[in-house]
Each structure stands twice: as C-alpha cells, then as structure tokens.
Structure 1
Amino acid sequence: MQFKVIENRNMTAQDDEKDVYFIRLTYEEPADYDAGDWLLVESQNRPDLVDFVLQLLGLSGDEMIEVRRVGERTVRDALRENYELTQLNPAILNRMQREYDLDQWADRDAMMAYADGRDIVDLLQAFPQLQSLGAEFCKMLSPLSPRYYSIASSQKSAAAQSYAGRMVDLVYKKIAYHKEGRDRLGVATYQLSDLKVGDVIEGDFCANKVFKLPEDLAHNKQPLIMVGAGTGIAPYIGFMEEIAYEHPQHFANTWLFFGETREQTCFLCQDQLQSWEAQGFHLLTAFSRDQAEKVYVQDLLWQHREDVWAQLEAGGIFYLCGDKTKMAKDVEQTMKRILVEVGKIEDPDLVWKEWRRARKVQSDVY
C-alpha cells in the first residue's frame, strides 16, 4: 500500500554524530494497526551502489537474468530492486565455501562474525575470483527485504483522528558512515531521510503480537515499565498516546527509562514526554555523554532497583526496545541482578525465562 509524506524532519539536526528523524505518513486504504506494531518499508538500492557492483562484475547491466518468484529482469533492475547489497548474508559465505572449495571460515559463528558490518562490495573485493562469475554471481544474493520500523503512534491519538485514523508516525536513525574508503548508507533510512512532503512510498503494516499493552488497563492498575534507548523510544510513544487517550489515570503506574547521548541535542520526543510527565507519568533519563562518567539505562534501572522490583511484584510488565547487541544484553543482566539482590530470587535465569513466556517481559530488539 502507498503512504504519503506529510512531515519528515531531523530531530537531532544540532548533533554532530547522528541524524534521527521523525516522519509522519498518511494513507488512503482502510487499515488498522495497534501500538507496538511495525511498518514494513519497501526500498531500493542506490544507483551508485548498483553501478559499482556492475563494474566489479564486468557487466553493462543490460544482461537478462531470471529472478526467483519475479521472472526475467535486467541485471541492473534486479540489483536495484530485488537483491540485497548493503548487508552480507552468512548463507552466501556458506555457499561459497561449499561450491568453490574455500576453507575460510571454521563454522557458522565465524561466518556470522565475518558478515557483520560488511556488504556485497566488500565480498567481491575480498574474493576477486567471484567477479569473474558475472551475472551468475547474482544467484547467490539474498532477496531485498522490506525494513521493519516500530510504529511511533496510535490511531487513537488526536493527531491520527484528524486524518480519520489513517496516519502513522516513525522514528528512525539515518544509517550513514565511512569505512574502508567507502560511504556506507542504510538502504531504507537513507531513502527515507531524502523524502519530501508529498512524496509517496510503498509499505505495509505488520502485527507485533508479542509487544502489546495489556487489554485490561481500564480495570486494573498494572504497572508498566518501559526501557529504551535511541530510536527504541518509538513504540512507547504509541503506547503513551493510547494511554493518554483512553486511560490517563494509568500515567501514575507507567514508567519510562530512556537513554541517549546528550540531552541538549538528542532528547527525542522531549516535548511529548515531558507533557505526559506533568500528568503523572514517571520519566527517567540517562544521557551518557553529559557527564564524565557515562550513565546508561541499565544504570538508571539499578539506581531505582527498589522501585523497579516493587512494580514487578505488583504485577508489572517489563518492556525493552532498542539495540540487541549491547543495550538489551546489559539491561537483561542488570534486571537479573535486581532479581537476585532485591527480589532474593535464587535462579534469575529461570524466572526471566518464565516471565518472557508469560509476557511479563516483552522485547522488540533489532
């Protein structure tokens, strides 16, 4: 389905190290979503990246290839619209090792470590023998998948109601960095950041069945503990908009632990959060670079461990959204420490596992 841009702005324009955007989209087709769901954004590879790959493969781009589940296409069109170029799938390395008698990686873990942070150009440059495959090389490439973004709005918000509920917000970080002599750009975030008001993109809604507000907030005082850093704030904005619309009395039982780098330039959604805070919402922030000793969300959780445990004992739900490689692991480790030292839990791993199964712990990490 199509989405039309009505707002797209850089929320961290004053920061020298990152570009985090807020984009508001409207749509005409009847479609519902819940706070916590995802928007899948269709994207295409950049023409300059496609040209570089064609050059390495010694192709003009006009050659024809058969794309699985699509049909016959020119190599150029296929590389632009059908194949993954900005990420390296470890499965490609496995196939290379099997078909070309390579002994480069000991196991899948080694392949995953090698693939992390590399793209298809890196692969072709590291293994020049692949360049001679020409169009045949494309058969090893993974399909270009849509990118998932946590929705940062509720259809029940005042803003959404002004568009008859057919409005959706996203908060996303533009991926752009320089490595080994080349600019590396996120296939979807770079495209999104370039959109102007009135532009149209393709996408679709996708339900996230394991990251939801409880259905019975109107009838209980079940605490909500939300933890997120950076763009991990996104689904909580949707949660808070829904609470503000339907259950404002629940602000007193809602906690947000939010982390970023600097308060002055990276306090995402600051006005919204502080307006809810004034209505009784518990907002705790950690800006890691605003003091000599860095403070992160897991440090905030530990500082407020007695309150956190009290909310969990009262039947609270613990939500976690953000980077899975470090932040999520550090938060989980801190929470298990709280279980042991404050809750006197003997086997925190078992309890945490049980809580996840019972959805007392819910995560949306990436």
Structure 2
Amino acid sequence: MQKYQAHRFAIAPMMDWTDRHCRVLHRTLSSRALLYTEMLTTGAVLHGDRERLLAYDPVEHPVALQLGGSEPAELAAAARIGEAEGYDEINLNVGCPSDRVQSGRFGACLMREPELVAECMAAMGAAVKVPVTVKCRIGVDDQDPEESLFTLVDLCAEAGVTSFVVHARKAWLKGLSPKENRDVPPLDYPLVWRLKAERPDLTIVINGGIGSLDEAEDHLRHVDGVMLGRAAYHTPDLLGQADARIFGEDRRVSPFEAVEAFRPYVAGQLARGTHLAAMTRHMLGLFHGVPGARAWRRILTVDGVKAGAGLEVIDRALAAVSERASGLQEQRLAGGLETGEAA
C-alpha cells in the first residue's frame, strides 16, 4: 500500500451536501482542495445505480470516494469499483453517528471494533493501488478518547494505512442526534496534535469545528492537513482564498469569478435535464457578508425551483448583487465629494 501524500486542505464528506454539483462549484474556487463524495454504503456501490451514485466531472480531481460498511470483502469490492471509476482515494467512514448508520454496523460505532476496522482496511488496501484512508472520531460514548483513538490508528497502521482524518470530538451514540453530535461533544484538538507528534510517520488531518482559514493555518503548525465541513459549505468564498493561503499559490478567486466559471457546467447539466435548483442550492452562501447577498439568496431560492428555470435566474441574482455593490460605491463617492466641497 503506497504512502499517501495528504493534501493540506480538504472539504469534508457531508450527506446531502457534497454531491457532484457541489464539488464542481467548490473546484471553481480551489484547484487544490481535496474533495470528498457523500458517504456511499457498500450495498449501494455494489448493487445500486453506479452511474447515478459514482459519476463525477473530471474537473473534480483530486476527489475521494467515502465508503460506509464493515464487511471486509464487500469493502474491498466497492473499493475496486471506486478505483476503476477513477477516484483518487478510497476513505472508510468510522465517524458518522446516525441511527441508520449504526443499524448497519458502520460509521462511528466501529470505534468500538478497531480490530474489525483494521481488517477492513487491510482488505481494501490489498484490493486497490490508490490510497485507502480512515475518517474517524476520537471515541464514542464512555470510551477514553486517548485509548480509543490511538488503538484504532495503531491497528490500522499495522494493516498498512498511513493517512487518517480525525474529527476531534467524541460521538455520543445514545442521547444525541447526529446534528447535536456535530456541536455538543467538546473538541479536543490537542489530542489530535499529540497523535501526530507521537506518530510522526503517519499523515494526520484534523477536522471538526474549524471555521476559517486563520484557524486552518494554526492547525497546520501541528498536523499535516485540515478538513473543513460546514464552514466551507455555508461560506464557500473562503475556498477562493485557500490556494493562496494554504498552498502558497498566486491564485485568488472571487465569488463573481466562481459563478462565471460554474456557468458552463450548469448549462451542460440543464441540457441533460438536471433541475437548476439542484445546483443553485449549493451557491446560496457564495456572497455571504457581501451587500446584496440577501437578494442573491432570495432569487435563487424562489425562482430557481420554478419549472424551466435556467441560467437567467443566476444572471438576475448576480445582477442584484452587482447593483447593490455599485449603489454603495456611488454613495461612497458622493459622500467623498460632499466632504471635499465642505473642505
């Protein structure tokens, strides 16, 4: 199994959010971020509609497929399919706390079965040449996080895994909803930093509650990579600064530039019969904090769902933002002239 050279910046797999349309939008903002699919169960990959579930646009590379499962042979078979489809990485979900996931014996409940996780990873690693990685929590329920995290990582490392994404909080499988599990259990970043310090040969990527590039840069002093989730989705403009700030490239992308770059993809999907709202729903946060953002969201939300909605809806929403920005600029200039005249 080859050593995985981690990307320093990744966007988390998020159910119902990081679909192919979302990923293409995010790619217009950052050429370097590692993108992840939503979690797909082995059953879906092996027996479902692969075209619908696994298809992606080539522009998405580098892109990873996240699997959910706990049966080594099935995971190996699903990993082979993912590799054949061209995914750059196959990741095992050992962090999702939902009841549906637990009933299937995968996700965060596997933190209680580190030997099984290691067996699964060994099977996946033997089946493919692309990197196989683990995304986990620091523990579940009454586990001692230091013991549960280090045990899982060490057993998987013995099985050949070299890269881990660690959501730096426990999952409470009883008593908290999946939504609450994203916020209520306290974060323990120092534990993940210590994992990297004590396992320097492993690639450690930190995840959980990271809301800005400033925070990401702070974490990169301690670990190899940073994964953002909700912050990247709700305020995608920050992704437009990631290539410059995280990777040192001379590339910054404005929300206006991202919309322009996304237009050909939207046009192509509309021609294939995709509803506009399936794509514009991921664009709502693009102008977060910018004058006109409310009008942008309103037009996309109200008009984007109408039958036959097309690129003209995006153009109208963009015009509302531009008009608002131009109006404020005129006000500033007018204010400046008045001040000058008074002087």
TM-score (norm 2): 0.26
TM-score (norm 1): 0.25
Which structure's residues are more often strand, by fraction? 1
Which structure's residues are more often helix, by fraction? 2
The higher-RCO structure (CA 8 Å, 6+ apart) is 1
Higher Rg of the two aligned structures: 1
